[in-house]
Structure 1
Amino acid sequence: MTVFKGMGWAKKLLDKSKQKLSKIQLQRLTAKMRVIPAALTKEQLTSSTHKAYKAVILHKWNIAKTVSVLSVVTAVVWSGNVYVEANMAQIVHVSINGQEVGTVKDKSSVEQFVAAKSKELIESNSDMHVVVKAPEVTFTDERVFMVETSDQEVMNKLGTAIFAQPVGTELVIDGKPVGILKDQATASLMLDQIKSSAVEKKKDSSKVRVLSATPSEPVGEVELQKVDFVQQVELKDIPIQPQDMVNPEELRKKLETGDVQPIKYVVEKGDCVSCVAKKFNIPKQIIYQNNPWIVDDMIKAGQQLDLTVLQPTLAVRTVEKLIEQQEIQYDTEYQKDDSMRLGTDQTIKAGKNGLKKVIILVTKINGLMIEETVQNEEIIQEPVKAVVRKGTKVIKGEGSGKFAWPVVSSSISSTFGYRWGALHKGVDLTSPNKNIMASDNGKVVYAGNKNDGYGNMVILDHLNGYKTLYGHLSRIDVTVGKIVEKGEKIGFMGSTGDSTGVHLHFEVQRSNTPENPLKYLNR
């Protein structure tokens, strides 16, 4: 049995029982009560104390009921939390270009859809190069209670936002667009084919031969050093419409020919190769290249010549290294003998030609030679000098058999051999010094212009089986019949006749057959 310190506390407890006291407040209130021995009898309690006792008993019953209700509520709340937690899910908000379009269960499904759609667009446009344009897709994660996602709606909106843009490769030459191809690979293949075609033309032109060529002058070993385009070539990927693309083969033909129509000419009586070249103002090399059946410059009336001069939009430049072995003509030492008749001689010691390796760089554009440079000469075998006894009575104008350079400080711009689709019968020399000198003692047998491509020329007969020819002179300083000495001035360098620039064309003929002048001229 419990009693209170006084009626004040009992009354306070009764008043508090009418309020909704918290469990903690009730604990604090009851802590102020004092427990007395249970031996006290009911009669010993005053009437007021008995009333207070009843109030306490009633309040405890109310507390018990409150605690029971709280326990039930707590159980319900806990069960609800478990249920809510069990039905919470992770969803993903999907935005296209910053605008939300719906929610999905997993962003990987969106990524897989974009990849599959892109693949489908590329495969359905296999006949052209396309770039798939996809919008910017962003994701925001959220945990929510029992919400349905809109996966299909999101996919539908994404499907309409992804599209294929056709892209072509534009070929630009010297800043000017000339055509659009499917892609970079197609354009590069076409350009490589143009280069290969130019190299094949170079090989075909080397098959031309001239009957008068000596068998000791074969075409040497050729190494292709470089193949490129004269013009600046660019490839640019640009958005296009399918109808903008052109056929690679048609574009290639246009670039190689410039859409030039073929020109045919029927040879007339009295025509020659150089005459036809002059009539149509085209290089002789074009005639040789287009008509490989021409042999030794021989053409006949009624034959048809292809005189087409292509004007390609895209010009191919090749640089070839030509390695040749050339003979070095031996010198002859003459021992004069008064006892021998004039014009007779006796060999005391036979001579022997030497051998040298010559490296020549040849630059061509579309198969036509533009520049030729002697890069190096290497003596393989020295020549052996001949010793010959001759009569002391020398015929005026007779050559010594040893030739000097006809131009001082000269450079070789074109060598002897098959350079222009036919035999180039001499060497071309350039020099700041334009004076032309006799290469050996001799007699002038021609001084003028034969209209055969050499322009103004001089031919010297050295009266020993050799002749020398000097072509393209701007001025001739000798006349027919004149006897000249080695080193004597005979004319002035020019560009007359079939010439592309100021130079001297110099030939050495032995028994009227052209030989390589470099056999007789050494640095």
Structure 2
Amino acid sequence: MTVFNKGKDRFKSLLDKLRAKGPGDRSNSLTENFRTESSDEKNEKGSFTMVERVRQHKWLFGKSAAAFGLMIAVVWSGHHYVQASMVDYYQVIANGEEIGIVADPSKVEQFKQDKRAELSKVSSDVRVVVVEPRIELKHERAFNEQTDDQAVLERLSGFFSSYPVGIELLVDGKPMGVLKDEASAQQMLEQLKANAVAALSKKKESGKVGILSASAKEAPVSTELLKADFVQQVEMKEIRIEVEDLTTPEQLQTKLETGNIAPTKYTVQEGDCVSCIAKKLDIPKQVIYQNNPTVTNDMIKVGQQLDLTVLQPTVAVRTVEKVVENQEIQYDTEYVQDDNMRLGVTETLKTGKNGLKTVTFELTKVGGLLEEEKILNENIVNTPVKAVIKRGTKVVKGEGTGKFAWPVSSPNISSTFGTRWGAFHKGIDITGNKSITAADNGKVIAAGTKSDYGNYIILDHLNGYTTLYGHLSKILTTKGAIVEKGEQIGIMGSTGDSTGVHLHFEVRTNDTPQNPLKYLNR
């Protein structure tokens, strides 16, 4: 604007000079002045053009720069907007099936835990198995992606299911009942074993000794339970159930212990005896003793009511015990013969004294009933002192020596003498060679058959001792015969009240049963 104004002022000054001169002068002057002015104006105009051009270039440059800057700003802000709008999300895949996307994967994990807890709380009395899907989370990223976590979790819920399970108890492969869990089943089985062991102790305490020879020394010194297990194969298996299928441990235990057998009562009649009742009703004698602890030494009376319940447990407990007992060792007697003394007349020169030994047995029982008895070892505690007796030399046939030999060669003892938890055994049971021989010189005072002994023989050794041989398959002597020590008198069998081939052997003094092991040492 300054250059323009200057040009305007100069043009006005030139017009004023032309008006002052004449026409001729005006033309020349005007021309001259115009030239002069034109020359000056040219100079100024040239200067003006350069300035304007510079100004125009500056404006264009600035405009381009502003446009470029705007473009950069638009690009940058657009990139920033895109980046700000990018969303991280997770594709949820259940059992290979895409069910939706979630923004927070921790919600899926928490949902699993909550669903598992929810399905497990069907009942406190039953265990529930929760079936969960195989869940995969695939991470992805996209522009302005929209997620709906709750909707996905609701769809995921349909992939979860549950069902109740219990523990089925099988005995020899046969189902017995269902309990809620393995711990309950195991506890119930352990209680079965504990009851069987407790019953053994009760029978030992209730056993009554009525025989004089069964002294306190022959009571068990110690008893150790070695093992308690089941005769049958007992298994536990987890199965799918309905809640109403469950039974209580108490109900199942009763079923396994008793077989749900009803009690049986019997009233003693005229002429009854323990072995007679057992044979008549086809039950073991030991059941009578076991169920009726008041019965001692086979003594029963008319009108007495007996419990003859024979339980048929589904599961039988086998126990193995180690029992240590003290037993007397009968002293030997040395006889000094005197021809001047009449037979049967004796004179004690030296008093004898019994010794003492500890005998260790292994007893195997099933359901409390003795199944097997083994003698593990014998240890001498006190050695017996031999007696010396003078007696007449006049020998009467059949008089015993006072020292007994084993009536069976290669003997094995299957049952020992004394009270065995409710039942008194008057002798010992021996297996081995089937040939039965006289244990000492004697006279046959009985040879026949009884319901309990079967075929039996009784020898009187004419010195205060008698011996009995029972369950023979054949008798090889007759009543009144005189037999010598070691002479064969019968053959081993299983007649009478017997559970197998063996010899029942008794030693008596004044008709009182003695422990044969006092006289028979290995």
**Do they superpose with TM above 0.5?**
yes
Q: Does 2:69 correspond to 1:71?
A: yes
- What does residue 445 of structure 2 align with? 445
Does the 8 Å CA contact 2:104/2:149 hold for their aligned counterparts?
A: no
Query: Following TM superposition, by how much is the alpha carbon of 1:435 offset from its aligned partner in structure 2, in angstroms?
Result: 0.7
Figure out how many residues of one structure are paired with residues of the other and give that number.
469
Deviations 1:347-386 (A, max 9, x none): 1121111111111111111011111111111222221111
1:518 aligns with 2:517: yes
Tell whether 2:396 aligns with 1:434. Answer: no
Deviation at 1:59, TM superposition (A): 9.8
In 2, the alpha carbon distance for the partners of 1:63 and 1:173 equals 103
Decide whether the 8 Å contact of 1:219 with 1:417 is kept in 2. no
Counterpart-to-counterpart distance in 2, 1:430 and 1:300: 35
Q: Deviations over 1:197-254 (max 9, x none)?
A: 2222222222221422522422342111100011111101111111222232222212
CA distance in 2, matches of 1:288, 1:269: 19
- CA contact under 8 A between 1:400 and 1:441: conserved in structure 2? yes
Answer whether contact 1:194 1:256 (CA < 8 A) is retained.
Answer: yes
1:54-79 CA-partner distances (Å, limit 9, x unpaired): 99999998777555423211111112
Partner amino acid for 2:458? I
Matched AA of 1:148? Q
Match of 1:381?
Answer: 382
Q: Which residue of 2 aligns with 1:209?
A: 208
Contact 2:122 2:128 (8 Å CA) reproduced: no
Q: Distance in 2 between matches of 1:466 and 1:457?
A: 17
Alignment-derived partner of residue 401 in structure 2: 400
Residues 208-287 of structure 1 correspond to what in structure 2 (within 5 A)? 208-213=207-212, 214-216=214-216, 217-287=218-288
Distance 1:56 1:132 in 2: 85
2:114 is equivalent to residue 113 of structure 1:
no
Equivalent residue, structure 1, for 2:302: 301
Q: Which amino acid aligns with 2:345?
A: T
CA distance in structure 1 between the partners assigned to 2:88 and 2:193 by the alignment:
62
The TM-score with structure 2 as length reference comes to: 0.85
One-letter amino acid of the counterpart of residue 477, structure 2: V
The Cα of 1:282 is off from its aligned counterpart by: 1.2
Tell me: CA distance 1:430–1:420, structure 2 relative to 1, closer, same or farther (3 Å): farther
SS of 2:396's equivalent? coil
Return the offset for 1:313. Answer: 1.3
- 1:198 equivalent to 2:193? Answer no
Query: How far 1:398 sits from its partner (Å)?
Result: 1.3
Verify the 8 A CA contact 2:411 2:431 in the aligned structure 1: yes
Once residues 437 and 414 of structure 1 are traced to their aligned partners in structure 2, the CA distance between those partners, rounded to angstroms, is: 19
Matched residues in 2 for 1:208 and 1:99: separation?
Answer: 74
Contact 1:165 1:239 in 2 (8 A): yes
What is the aligned partner in structure 1 of residue 290 from structure 2? 289
Q: Spell out structure 1 runs of 4+ moving beyond 4 A.
A: 54-67
Letter in 1 for 2:225: L
* In 2, Cα distance between equivalents of 1:265 and 1:93: 80
Where 2:520 maps in the other structure, the secondary structure is coil
SS in 1 for 2:371: strand
Query: 1:482-521 residue pairs with structure 2 within 5 A?
Result: 482-521=481-520
C-alpha deviation, 1:159, in angstroms: 3.0
Q: Aligned equivalents of 2:103 and 2:144: distance in 1?
A: 12
For residue 473 of structure 1, what is the amino acid of its counterpart?
L
**Partner Cα separation in structure 2 for residue 328 and residue 158 of structure 1:** 85
Residue segments in structure 1 that go unaligned for 5+ positions in a row: 1-42, 44-53
- Amino acid paired to 1:415: T
Provide the C-alpha distance between the structure 2 equivalents of 1:127 and 1:170, rounded to a whole number of angstroms: 15
Q: Helix, strand or coil for the counterpart of 1:108? A: helix
Q: Which has the higher helix share?
A: 2
TM-score by length of 1: 0.85
* Structure 1 contact 368–420 (Cα < 8 Å) conserved: no
2:120 counterpart letter in structure 1:
I
Residues 102-181 of structure 1 correspond to what in structure 2 (within 5 A)?
102-181=100-179
Segment drifting more, 266-275 vs 164-173: 164-173
- The farther-off stretch of 317-326 and 204-213 is 204-213
1:150, distance to aligned residue in structure 2 (A): 1.4
Give the 3-state SS of the residue equivalent to 1:259 in structure 2: coil
After TM superposition, the structure 1 stretch with the greater mean CA deviation from structure 2, 263-272 or 200-209, is 200-209
Alignment of 1:3-14 (within 5 A): none
| 1:344 alignment counterpart | 345
Secondary structure (helix, strand or coil) at the match of 1:80 reads helix
Q: What whole-Å deviation, never above 9, does each CA across 1:11-68 have from its counterpart, x for those lacking one?
A: xxxxxxxxxxxxxxxxxxxxxxxxxxxxxxxx9xxxxxxxxxx999999987775554
How far apart, in 2, do the equivalents of 1:303 and 1:349 lie?
A: 51
C-alpha distance in 1 between matches for 2:360 and 2:254: 35
1:327 aligned residue = 328
Aligned to 2:29: none
Query: Who is 2:93 aligned against?
Result: 95
Tell me how far apart the structure 2 counterparts of residues 502 and 329 of structure 1 sit (CA, whole Å). Answer: 28
Q: What are structure 2's unaligned runs of at least 5 residues?
A: 1-41, 43-51
Kindly state the Cα deviation for residue 342 of structure 1 after the two structures are TM-superposed.
2.4
Hey, what does 2:5 align to over in structure 1? Answer: none
Q: Is contact 2:360–2:378 with CA below 8 Å preserved after alignment?
A: yes
**SS of match in other structure, 2:290:** helix
Code of the residue aligned with 1:466 in structure 2: it is Y
Residues 1:82 and 2:80 aligned together: yes
Q: Kindly indicate whether the alpha-carbon contact (under 8 Å) linking 1:285 and 1:420 is maintained by their aligned counterparts in 2.
A: no
> What is the DSSP-based 3-state SS (H/G/I as helix, E as strand, rest coil) of the residue aligned with 2:117?
helix
Q: Secondary structure at the match of 1:74?
A: helix
Query: Would the aligned equivalents of 1:336 and 1:392 in 2 still touch at CA under 8 Å?
Result: yes
Determine if contact 2:207/2:421 at 8 Å carries over to the other structure.
no
Deviations along 1:304-342, one digit per CA (max 9) or x if unpaired, are 112121111111111111111111111111010123232
